[in-house]
Chains A and B, each alone.
Chain A
Amino acid sequence: MLKPGSRLKSAVCDAEVMVIKAGADDEVTCGGAVMATDVSEKSAGDDAQMHGCLIGKRYVNQGDSIELLCVKSGDGSLYCNGEELMTKDTKKLPSSD
């Protein structure tokens, strides 16, 4: 079950994400393998889903029902329920502190 604030690890690469928004039943994968809070051993990723994810970027689906923050870069790409997630552009604000 996904909860905001949870940290998920990739089973195929170094990638880690923090859940910002998600449905309880959403399934997040990286490089084709399910991401989880604990990953005991790494496996090989699906080559078609290995375009990478980048630290500091936010990943969302078309419907904006899921949002992940990549907190550690990796080689796998992020998917939710089979849909590839896209980076979200955030409005750049002037530094206020």
Chain B
Amino acid sequence: MDTPYTIPAPVQSPAPIAARAAARIRRSFRQIRTENVFKNVLVITGLLLVILVLGILLTLIVQSLPSIRLLGLRFLWGKTWNPVKDVYGAFPFLVGTLLSSFLALAISIPFSISIAIFLGEYHPRGWFSNLLKNAVELIAAVPSVIYGFWALAVLVPMVRSFEKSIGVQQPLGVGIFSSSLILAVMIIPYAASLGRSMIQMVPSPLKEAAYGLGATRWEVIRSVVLPYTRSGLFAGILLSLGRALGETMAVTMVIGNTSILPKNIFAPGNTMASVIANEFTEADKTVYLSALIELGLALFLVTVVINIAGKKIIDRFTHE
């Protein structure tokens, strides 16, 4: 038996090898180029954002110079806002902004944390969870003017009868309390969604170990889940606070818009954002316009300060 004849494998000629190598090199170069382009795009977008923020800050500072020159630090502590006499004191609006935002935050935290725990730990799946999840997302998608209308038509009369029943001196319905309530509803989704995804990321071995030691569900949440997700929950709360500080339309519709310093949480007041929105279009003097822009600068700085303070608190939490 003679061995069958096998056709020898074709020996590659040197020319195609060189072509392939060249093609590979071209591809590598292309890959490197794509890589570089991608990296540059990332850097440029990042830089653009930084430039944009700095640019806004710079514009605000430059445009508010006339008012800063005229009023100095009195702007922040003055209690009178009188465009007719060119006296601009932002203190009542500063108080109104901080009071309504922090009150809204205090009202919303129990709800947002509960929703986060319910969706993240108790019932991550199921029709009710889906419904709740979608409802929470829908809350964030509704335009704020609709909240304003709803608050004016439904919430304000309810608040008015509540104020009557607890014996408030002048039960108006509109005021800081009403605006805090509507703000609280509007900011729930931010803390709730972030909290939910944080809670879902808690490693199960940790939880299982706790259950293995005989811990109840409540005990697991209290001593494993919450400590593990503390910084994430706090970041979500910070995000909602930022939203509350800057909200304009819904607030201006129910806060009562008075420049008088609020005496209590049921009194009407005003926030910095809503004063700007209300008075900007008809500000007919340079100093007036400049004072409104300085109000924007102050709001910008308040947000920055609160954010930095929040970051510090998160750092402390995570390094403990």
Co-assembled chains A and B? no
List residues of B whose CB falls within 8 A of some A CB: none
